[in-house]
Structure 1
Amino acid sequence: MDRSSIVKVIALMVTGFGIGIDFTGALILVPAIENSFDADITSTQWVLNIYALFFAMTMVAGGRMGDMFGHRKMMIIGLAIFLFASVMCFVSPSLDFLIAARALQGIGSGCVWPCTLAFGATKVSRPEHRAMIMGMILAGVTSGNVFGPLISGAAVSFGDWRLFFLANVLFSTISMVTALILMERETQHKQGEHIDFAGIGVLSFAVLLLLYGLDIGADWGWTSVPLLMLFFVSAALFFFFPQVEKRVKEPLLLPQMMQNREFRITLGLNMFNVSAAFVGLLYFPQYMQKVLGWSVFESAIGLAPLTLLLAVGSIVSGTLYNDFGPKRLLFWGYLIATTGALSIIILPAGLGYFQILPGMAMIGLGATLTVGPSGTAAVCAVKPERAGLVGGLSFMTHLVYGAISVAFATAIMYVVSLSSLSKQLVADGINMSATDQKAINGGTLTTGTARAIIEKLSSEEADKVKSAVAAAFDAGMNMAFVFAAISVSIGIVLAMMLDEEQLHKVEG
């Protein structure tokens, strides 16, 4: 590559780095956000879920608009949205405001990411360098995944979790400046492109209602009529989505693709690999902080076995794909990740950090062997001219199912931990109202409400309650990983069903 191309690739890597730190860094902040807004885990999970959902659902539209109006222009617009949303996160006066700002961040990222990849693939260098450039851009993102928790840990150490979002402001500003200065304007754009806003809207609303129902199920009652109606509307929208796709000009899911058996399998392989990783990224830091008593920065260091494997694996798995083939990589990756999720359930809580360390490493290794190869396999299953669409679609599926997995796992975790807490309090002879139990459930004992409850107890009772809360969190987390293990194990079956010979035949 010439010097100009190298500078442009570095600029694209900086953009990817900014996206990478935002995703993992925000997860480490969950306990601090709970304390700041006196919230519980079922509410703060939206800090992850809403971002993943809006990122995913904007990505296909963002890529199409980049084709229509210019990838450089859409990158700058997306970075401007992301920068503004990061400022809104920094000044958030309430949890609802923060969640809305995170949704806006997801929209910005959804515009930036596909255009970053497209610009790198088409404008930076010759075709023979594209694979290397894609790997370098992904290395920027995964490096951000590693440093994100460290930046958020440092922010909390300085006394305010909001400082983390100033890092978003800094990197998005640098990315905007480099895009304006180093990336040339595009003069030719695709004509006649159409965006499936109807399909995106129906699918987004269906997922959003499902996530909201899982969030408020414990408060409304899982068999209450309003909640059942909410789930019914969500299911109806999921059912209605294929009907909408048949009527739009350029649907998200082309009928030709859905008739391709290998494409359907690889789309599933793109979904289920994310379950254990997303649940782990949410709960491992909380376990370290709420059960082990570690600081935010210490938990960021403790998460390194997972984040480092994810970072290194995105580069290494690309080189393994041609040597071993997708079937073997995906089978062993899913098997290792399933084993990792099961190890967290089986290993006793008395091991402390070593209860989660083997599982963390195996989940990271499993994701390494499945995330990249499943996306590549999906692209290989369709015609070359659909590669860009399928690349975005597979990543969208990946994120949407990740958000759904976190919501299901959190709903399970909350119910199980609350039941465990109630039983332990009864066994300890401590009389506590159901409202107070819900306030301290999930291990959040440093919020204003939780502190007020603890202060009403004697020192002996307070110690028993703290032990009961920690044990309840561990029980709830274990059950969340039961869901994750079942979900990931589906990928083992799909990998065995994959026909490599048919996969590499271009669809008719």
Structure 2
Amino acid sequence: MDRTSIIKVITLMVTAFGIGIDFTGALMLVPAIENSFDADITSSQWVLNIYALFFAMTMVAGGRLGDMYGHRRVMIIGLTIFLFSSVLCFVAPGLDYLIGARALQGIGAGCVWPCTLAFGATKVSKPEHRALVMGLILAGVTTGNVFGPMISGAAVNFGDWRLFFLANVVFSCISMATAVLLMERETQHKQGEHIDFAGMGILSFAVLLLLYGLDVGADWGWTSVPLLLLFFVSAVLFILFPRVEKRVKEPLLLPQLMQNREFLITLGLNMFNVSAAFVGLLYFPQYMQKVLGWSVLQSALGLAPLTVLLAVGSIVSGTLYNDFGPKRLLFWGYLCATVGAASIVVMPAGLGYFQILPGMALIGLGATLTVGPSGTAAVCAVKPERAGLVGGLSFMTHLVYGAISVAGATAVMYVTSLSSLRKQLEAAGISMSEADQKVLNGGTLATDSAQAILRHLNPAEVEKVKAAISTAFDSGMNMAFAFATLSVAVGIVLALMLDEQKLHKVEG
């Protein structure tokens, strides 16, 4: 690449780095947020899910706005929103306020990310460098994924998890400065474009209802009428979505792409690769903190086999894409991720960190070989002027399914761990109300609610309860990864079905 292209790529990597820090760093804060706001895991998971959902649903609009008005301009607007919402996260007085601020962060990131991808895909000097540039941008994100947990760990060690969002403000300012100073203004844009707000609204509401149903299912009862009605409305909206898409002028799902079997398979490959990685990013740190008793900073270092592989692998997969093609990379990546998720389920309890280490490494390797190639395959399959739209669409499916996976896995985990806790307390001869069991099962023992329950027990009973909670969490985590294993395994089948030659003729 020439000097100008290298400067552009570095600028895009800086922006991607800031986005990557926010995602994994916030995940490490979940136990600290539970303690601060006296919340449980089914509520605190929204810190991840609401961000992923709004990030996903904004990306297609962000990509199309970039195509229409310039990727540089929309990127700077998105960074401004991201910076403002980071300040709101820093001053959040309660969990609901924090979740709202995270939703706004998702909107900002949803404007930044597809424009970053599109700028990299269309502004390099030679088309054959496109896969490498995409890999470098993803390396910027995943390098941020590595440093994010360390920054959040340091924030907690300094005594306040809110300091992490102050760091977000700093990196947002750096990203804005590099974008303004180093990225060239675009003079030609697509004309006559329209944004499918109807499709975005229906799909967003359908996913939001589904996630909320999975969140409250354990409290309402999985067969309760209100919950079934919630799932029914969500299903109706999902069914209504493609009908609406046929009527709008510029749908999210372009007909010429959606009628192509290979492109749909590629979108599926963008979806299922995220399940094990998202579940791992949520539960591995909690396992290290709640079961092994590690600090947030120790947990961040313990997560390195997953995050470092993601960072290094993005560059490697970008260089391998042209040599091996997406089919082989995706097949072996999905196979590694499936074996890794399954290993968490079958590894015997009591091994400590080594119970999760092999699975963590394999999931990281699997994500390395699937995330970049699946996104690159989708973007490279269309004309350059569609790069922003398709980049947003591919990562939209990626994040929406990631949020659904986390919600589904958390629902399975919560039910399993609660059942295990109940059986162990009965075996230990400790009588406890169902409400108290839910409090202990859902959060950490440092919350005010948990401490109030433990004060009614003698020291011997407290130790038995702590052991029971640790075992229950381990059982629940295993079932969460059983869910993830089945999900990721679908990708193996899709990778075998992919026909590369037909894929690259979508808009040839």
Q: TM-score, normalised by structure 2?
A: 0.96
Opposite residue 112 of structure 1, the aligned amino acid is V
Q: Which runs of 5+ in 2 are unaligned?
A: none
1:319 is displaced (CA, Å) by 1.9
Instruction: Give matches, 1:232-247, under 5 Å.
Output: 232-247=232-247
2:270–2:375 contact (8 Å) kept in structure 1: yes
1:8 is displaced (CA, Å) by 4.1
C-alpha distance in 2, partners of 1:382/1:65?
17
Q: Which runs of 5+ in 1 are unaligned?
A: none
Greater RCO between the two (CA within 8 Å, min separation 6)?
2
1:434 is displaced (CA, Å) by 0.7
C-alpha distance in 1, partners of 2:294/2:481?
21
Deviations along 1:179-229, one digit per CA (max 9) or x if unpaired, are 233334334332101111111110000000000011011111111111111
2:64–2:388 contact (8 Å) kept in structure 1: no
Instruction: Give matches, 1:304-319, under 5 Å.
Output: 304-319=304-319
Bigger CA drift: 102-111 or 123-132?
123-132
SS in 2 for 1:441: helix
SS in 2 for 1:284: helix
1:76 is displaced (CA, Å) by 1.6
SS in 1 for 2:208: helix
1:491 is displaced (CA, Å) by 1.0
1:339 is aligned to 339
C-alpha distance in 1, partners of 2:228/2:84?
37
Opposite residue 347 of structure 1, the aligned amino acid is M
Opposite residue 32 of structure 2, the aligned amino acid is A
1:380–1:503 contact (8 Å) kept in structure 2: no
Instruction: Give matches, 1:382-421, under 5 Å.
Output: 382=382, 386-421=386-421
1:70 is displaced (CA, Å) by 2.2
Bigger CA drift: 427-436 or 332-341?
332-341
1:5 is displaced (CA, Å) by 4.9
1:495 aligns with 2:495: yes
Instruction: Give matches, 1:102-251, under 5 Å.
Output: 102-123=102-123, 125=125, 127=127, 129-251=129-251
C-alpha distance in 2, partners of 1:21/1:150?
9
C-alpha distance in 2, partners of 1:498/1:278?
24
What is the Cα-based RMSD across aligned positions, in Å?
1.7
C-alpha distance in 1, partners of 2:321/2:175?
31
Bigger CA drift: 226-235 or 389-398?
389-398
CA spacing shift, 1:198–1:81, aligned 2, 3 Å:
same
1:150 is displaced (CA, Å) by 0.5
CA spacing shift, 1:56–1:445, aligned 2, 3 Å:
same
Bigger CA drift: 364-373 or 352-361?
364-373
1:366 is displaced (CA, Å) by 0.9
1:392 is displaced (CA, Å) by 1.9
C-alpha distance in 2, partners of 1:76/1:113?
11
1:422 is displaced (CA, Å) by 0.5
Bigger CA drift: 357-366 or 263-272?
263-272
CA spacing shift, 1:355–1:101, aligned 2, 3 Å:
same
Opposite residue 146 of structure 1, the aligned amino acid is V
SS in 1 for 2:356: helix
C-alpha distance in 2, partners of 1:123/1:175?
18
CA spacing shift, 1:244–1:171, aligned 2, 3 Å:
same
1:458 is aligned to 458
2:335–2:366 contact (8 Å) kept in structure 1: yes
1:449 aligns with 2:465: no
1:256 is displaced (CA, Å) by 2.1
C-alpha distance in 2, partners of 1:187/1:325?
34
1:119 is displaced (CA, Å) by 3.1
1:130 is displaced (CA, Å) by 4.3
1:351 is aligned to 351
C-alpha distance in 1, partners of 2:349/2:214?
27
1:371 aligns with 2:342: no
2:60–2:390 contact (8 Å) kept in structure 1: no
CA spacing shift, 1:120–1:263, aligned 2, 3 Å:
closer
Deviations along 1:464-503, one digit per CA (max 9) or x if unpaired, are 0000000000000000001000001111111222223433
1:507 is displaced (CA, Å) by 5.2
1:16 is aligned to 16
2:439 is aligned to 439
2:199–2:245 contact (8 Å) kept in structure 1: yes
Deviations along 1:319-363, one digit per CA (max 9) or x if unpaired, are 222322322222221111111111111111110110000000011
CA spacing shift, 1:428–1:93, aligned 2, 3 Å:
same
CA spacing shift, 1:485–1:127, aligned 2, 3 Å:
closer
1:269 is displaced (CA, Å) by 1.2
2:43 is aligned to 43
1:124 is displaced (CA, Å) by 6.5
CA spacing shift, 1:377–1:177, aligned 2, 3 Å:
closer
1:55 aligns with 2:55: yes
1:387 is displaced (CA, Å) by 4.1
C-alpha distance in 2, partners of 1:288/1:21?
20
Q: Percent identity?
A: 83
Opposite residue 71 of structure 2, the aligned amino acid is H
Q: TM-score, normalised by structure 1?
A: 0.96
2:86–2:169 contact (8 Å) kept in structure 1: yes
Opposite residue 23 of structure 1, the aligned amino acid is F
1:115 is displaced (CA, Å) by 1.8
1:131 is displaced (CA, Å) by 4.2
C-alpha distance in 1, partners of 2:115/2:321?
25
2:344–2:359 contact (8 Å) kept in structure 1: yes
Bigger CA drift: 180-189 or 352-361?
180-189
1:129 is displaced (CA, Å) by 4.9
Bigger CA drift: 411-420 or 373-382?
373-382
Opposite residue 422 of structure 2, the aligned amino acid is S
1:299 aligns with 2:299: yes
Opposite residue 68 of structure 2, the aligned amino acid is M
CA spacing shift, 1:382–1:184, aligned 2, 3 Å:
closer
C-alpha distance in 1, partners of 2:501/2:68?
36
Deviations along 1:69-106, one digit per CA (max 9) or x if unpaired, are 22222122111110110000000000000000000000
2:283 is aligned to 283
Opposite residue 367 of structure 2, the aligned amino acid is A
Deviations along 1:296-335, one digit per CA (max 9) or x if unpaired, are 0000000000001111111111222232232222222111
2:349–2:355 contact (8 Å) kept in structure 1: yes
C-alpha distance in 2, partners of 1:126/1:245?
35
SS in 2 for 1:160: coil
C-alpha distance in 1, partners of 2:55/2:339?
30
CA spacing shift, 1:373–1:151, aligned 2, 3 Å:
same
Opposite residue 246 of structure 1, the aligned amino acid is K
2:317–2:368 contact (8 Å) kept in structure 1: yes
Bigger CA drift: 458-467 or 485-494?
485-494
2:31–2:443 contact (8 Å) kept in structure 1: no
CA spacing shift, 1:433–1:396, aligned 2, 3 Å:
same
